[in-house]
Structure 1
Amino acid sequence: MYTRVESRFWQDEKMRAVSDDVRYLMLYLLTSPHRNIIGFYFLPLPYACFDLGWDEKRFMKALQELLSAGLIRYDKQVHVVLVKNYLKHNPLENPNQVKSAIEKIKEIPETPLFQDFLEIVKQLDKPLYKPLIEHLHKRLPKPGTGSGTGTGSGSGSGEEDSPNPPGPDAPQEPHVPLDDNKNEPKYTEDSPPYRAAIYLRNRILENNPRARVPDDDPGDPLLQKWAQEMDRLHRLGPPGGDQGYNWHEIRQLIDFSQDDEFWRANILSAGKLREKCVQLENQMKRNAAKARGHPTMSKNVANALRLVEKYNQEEGGYS
C-alpha cells in the first residue's frame, strides 16, 4: 500500500516543535503496516511497540505528546488511532477507493472517533465522499439509544469489545431485533456476532477462495447461523459450556485457526470453530509458552510478548 508523505513533513512547524521520538512515531503512524487507506485503524499498543522496538513507557510518552499537539486522536479503550490529516494528503480518488474505505470502516470497533472522522471528511468537501459520509452517519449512535439510560448494574450487555476489529470496553452491542417469521435473533451488520462471522468468512476465503461460505449479506440464512454460533461462543463458550469468550479471544481463535496449517483445513464454519474452541485455545497457550522459552528469541519479541500477556490479563485478550 502506498502512502504519500510530503517532504515538508520535516519542516512542518508542529513537527519541528516536538521530540525526535514524536516525529518518529508520527512517521510510523503514517506508514504503519497496520494502516489503511483512511488513516483510521486498529492499533493495539503491543503491535506498535513491537514494530518500533520501544517499551511501553517510551511509546506512551511519545503518544501523549502527539495527542497534545492535536495531530492524532487515539481511543485507548478500543485501541483505534485516527491520523487527522491523513485524508488531506492521501485523498480517495475514485468510487472504488470510497467503497474500500467503507469496508475498512466496518472493521473498526465502535468508538467516539467516528464523530471526529465524520467531521474531517465533511470539511474536505468532496462530492466523491458522499457515500462515505452516509455510511458514517449510520455508524453513529442514534439519539435515545445510548447505554446511559439503562437500569441495570452498569455492566451493559457484556460486549466489552469488538471482534472486527475488537477492542475492550466498546459500547453496548446494538439492539438485535427479532425475525418476525422465525422469532429468532436477526444479527445486523453492526452487531459483534455478525462482524465475527464475516471475519471468519473472509479469513477462510483467504486460504481457499473455493471454500463454501455464506454470502456477505445479512439476509443470508447461513450467515445468520454463523452469527448465532458466534453469539453462543461469546455467551456460552463450547457446546454444553457456560463460560464464553470475549471478542478479543474470539478473534484470536479465528486467527489461529486460519493461520495454522492443520486447523485451517478443519475450521471451515462458525459451528466448527465453536466445537473446537477449547482445543484451539489450549494449543495457542502451548505455542505461546514455547515462544516465551525460546533461547534465541530477540529482546524485541520478548518485550512484545510480555506486553501482550499484560494486556490479556488486564483487558481480556488481544486480537
Structure 2
Amino acid sequence: MSARDFNKVAPALWGSARFLALEVDARLQFIYYATNPHVNSAGVYRLTDGYAVDDLKCDRSRYIENRAAMLAAGMIDYDEQHSFLMVERWFKHNRPMNDSHALGTLRFIEAIESERLREKVMPLFLEADAARLAREAKKKADREARKIAERLEQPSPRSNSGILSTRLMSMGGRG
C-alpha cells in the first residue's frame, strides 16, 4: 500500500487529446493508474492484473484492452514479466519536492524489479530532481540578492546622509 496521501492529477488531463481519445472506462483506468493505493513517488510500481481488476471491479479482458490502448498512446509502460507499470510523464506533475522526497523516490526506483523500466525512469527522475535543485538554488540566490539590496538601501549609521536633510542644507546654505 502507498504511504502517499494524495497525487497530483493536472486539470490539463481533461484537455489531453490522448486521454480524450480513450474510451470512458479506459480514462477511469488511467486515473486509477495515477492515484491507486499501489502507486509510489516514482510512478513505477508493481501492479498485477488481479489487483487492478479487483480494485476497479471490471472485466479482466476489458482491463487488458484498455491497458493496451494506453500503451499504444504512450500514456503508460508495462512490463508483463514483472507486472510493473510506469505512468509516463509522471515527474511532469509529481516532481520531488525536497531532499527527503528525492531520496525516497530514488529508493523506490532502485527497488523496481523491471530492469527496463528502472533504466527508463532513472534519467527522468534525475532530470526532474536537477530541475528542483536548480529552482532551489535560484530561490536562495534571489533571497540573498534581496537581502543585499535592502542593506544597500538602508543608510549606514556612520554616513553623512543625515546632514543632507538638515534645515541648513535644505535651504542651500541660506540663513
TM-score by length of 2: 0.68
Contact kept in structure 2, 1:78 and 1:111, CA below 8 Å: no
Partner Cα distance (1:122, 1:98) in 2: 9
Match of residue 72 from structure 2 = 68
Partner Cα distance (1:119, 1:73) in 2: 15
Q: Which amino acid aligns with 1:28?
A: Y
CA deviation string 1:27-78 (max 9, x = no partner): 0001010000111111111010000001210110000000000011000000
Q: SS of the counterpart of 2:39?
A: coil
Match of residue 52 from structure 2 = 48
Larger relative contact order, structure 1 or 2 (CA cutoff 8 Å, min sep 6): 2
Match of residue 100 from structure 1 = 104
Q: Which amino acid aligns with 1:91?
A: R
Matched, 1:114 2:118: yes
Q: SS of the counterpart of 1:23?
A: helix
Contact kept in structure 1, 2:109 and 2:121, CA below 8 Å: no
Match of residue 220 from structure 1 = none
Query: Residue 105 of structure 1: CA displacement?
Result: 2.4
Contact kept in structure 1, 2:96 and 2:128, CA below 8 Å: no
Partner Cα distance (2:37, 2:83) in 1: 15
Aligned residues: 129
TM-score by length of 1: 0.38
| Identity rate, percent | 27
Structure 1 range deviating more: 105-114 or 3-12: 105-114
Q: SS of the counterpart of 1:46?
A: helix
Q: SS of the counterpart of 1:81?
A: strand
Contact kept in structure 2, 1:37 and 1:101, CA below 8 Å: yes
Match of residue 92 from structure 2 = 88
Task: Provide the aligned C-alpha RMSD in A.
Answer: 1.7
Gaps (5+ residues) in structure 1? 130-319
Partner Cα distance (1:97, 1:60) in 2: 32
Query: Residue 10 of structure 1: CA displacement?
Result: 1.3
Query: Residue 100 of structure 1: CA displacement?
Result: 0.9
Flag the structure with higher helix content.
2
Contact kept in structure 2, 1:84 and 1:120, CA below 8 Å: no
Match of residue 12 from structure 1 = 16
Partner Cα distance (1:66, 1:103) in 2: 27
Q: Which amino acid aligns with 1:20?
A: V
Correspondences of 1:70-219 after superposition (within 5 Å): 70-124=74-128, 126=130
CA deviation string 1:120-173 (max 9, x = no partner): 2344462557xxxxxxxxxxxxxxxxxxxxxxxxxxxxxxxxxxxxxxxxxxxx
Shift in CA distance, 41/94, structure 1 to aligned 2, threshold 3 Å: same
Contact kept in structure 2, 1:73 and 1:84, CA below 8 Å: yes
CA deviation string 1:258-305 (max 9, x = no partner): xxxxxxxxxxxxxxxxxxxxxxxxxxxxxxxxxxxxxxxxxxxxxxxx
